[in-house]
Amino acid sequence: MEGIFSGSADIKAHFPFEITRFQSISSEFLTLMKKVLKSPMVVDVLNIVGVQRSLENFLSRLRHVPLDSALRSKNGGAATAASGGQDKQKDKQKYVLSQTMQVQRDVANILDTYLTPDGLVSRCLDYAATNIEHVMDFTRSRATNALFSMLNQEVRNVLNYNHTHPDFPMQPDQLESYIPKALIYSVLWSFAGDGNLKGKPTFFYLIYILIYMICYTFHLFLISP
């Protein structure tokens, strides 16, 4: 196909759309083959693309879709009945929803640094998949789903705290301190919870190094003119 689309000037002149499409597909194929060369397991290579897409989808849902438990209120029904009116109920729901989504967006912005294609989560996932012996058959999709479940619960913990402490909600600096710790805890359990003890110390050290690199890079960004 490359000889047809790349070697004929007439074809390029008559089929510009097809030429552009072929070049795009060819570039993606070459990139995929380079990954196959590094990792002969085709399933692992395809999982790399799927995992990054799932990480991006997780952040998108966190930014735009409220977590179910975030809108629950133990005293919501009683308060609405006492106030007597659907308008007050709607106003309260809108307020809770706005506060919920603001927290979720703040958390997503914090996690964004660690969920990049070459970030902490991807590197830890690669290490856990190739260097740790697991009790169960390890799959990247199951590990990331476990990570998402734990991170969602951490967000619910923040939301629940804010709802039960309306006068003293978690401040942005506290959130920036809490969420990375929650991420490390979640990564350890979801990626290496069923792993043998031999591989865990190196895994822990890898996380330490990656966190240090991220913090150091962020520090340089802050002090740069």
Residue 57's CATH number:
1.10.472.130
Each residue's pLDDT tens digit, 95-152: 667 888 899 999 999 999 889 888 889 888 988 888 888 888 888 888 999 999 999 9
Using 50, 70 and 90 to split pLDDT, how confident is the model at 45? very low
Q: Are residues 16 and 107 in the same domain?
A: no
Average pLDDT over residues 179-186: 91
Which residues have a Cβ under 8 Å from the Cβ of 185 and sit 6 or more positions away? 150
Average pLDDT over residues 184-194: 89
Residue pair 123/90 in contact by the 8 Å Cβ criterion: no
Range of the domain at 78: 43-223
Q: Are residues 27 and 50 in the same domain?
A: no
Q: Are residues 113 and 32 in the same domain?
A: no
Average pLDDT over residues 207-225: 55
Q: Are residues 49 and 34 in the same domain?
A: no
Query: 221 pLDDT exceeds 80?
Result: no
Query: 19 pLDDT exceeds 80?
Result: no
Supply the pLDDT for residue 100. Answer: 87
Supply the pLDDT for residue 156. Answer: 92
More confident residue, 219 or 144: 144
Residue pair 126/191 in contact by the 8 Å Cβ criterion: no
How many other CB atoms sit within 10 Å of the CB of residue 100? 20
Q: Are residues 206 and 219 in the same domain?
A: yes
Q: Are residues 109 and 168 in the same domain?
A: yes
Each residue's pLDDT tens digit, 56-96: 999 999 999 888 644 544 444 444 444 556 666 666 667 66
Query: 198 pLDDT exceeds 70?
Result: yes
Residue pair 202/135 in contact by the 8 Å Cβ criterion: no
CA 159 to chain centre: 19
Report CA torsion sign: 186, 191, 197, 199. Answer: negative
Q: Are residues 175 and 65 in the same domain?
A: yes
Q: Are residues 33 and 47 in the same domain?
A: no
- Angstrom distance (rounded) from CA 160 to CA 61: 19
Rounded to 5 degrees, what are φ and ψ at 113?
Answer: -65, -30
Q: Are residues 98 and 30 in the same domain?
A: no
Which of 20-29, 43-52, 154-163 shows the lowest mean pLDDT across its residues?
Answer: 43-52
Q: Are residues 213 and 136 in the same domain?
A: yes
How many other CB atoms sit within 10 Å of the CB of residue 177? 12
Domain tally, the chain? 2
Supply the pLDDT for residue 214. Answer: 61
Supply the pLDDT for residue 195. Answer: 80
Using 50, 70 and 90 to split pLDDT, how confident is the model at 218? very low
Q: Are residues 5 and 94 in the same domain?
A: no
Q: Are residues 26 and 124 in the same domain?
A: no
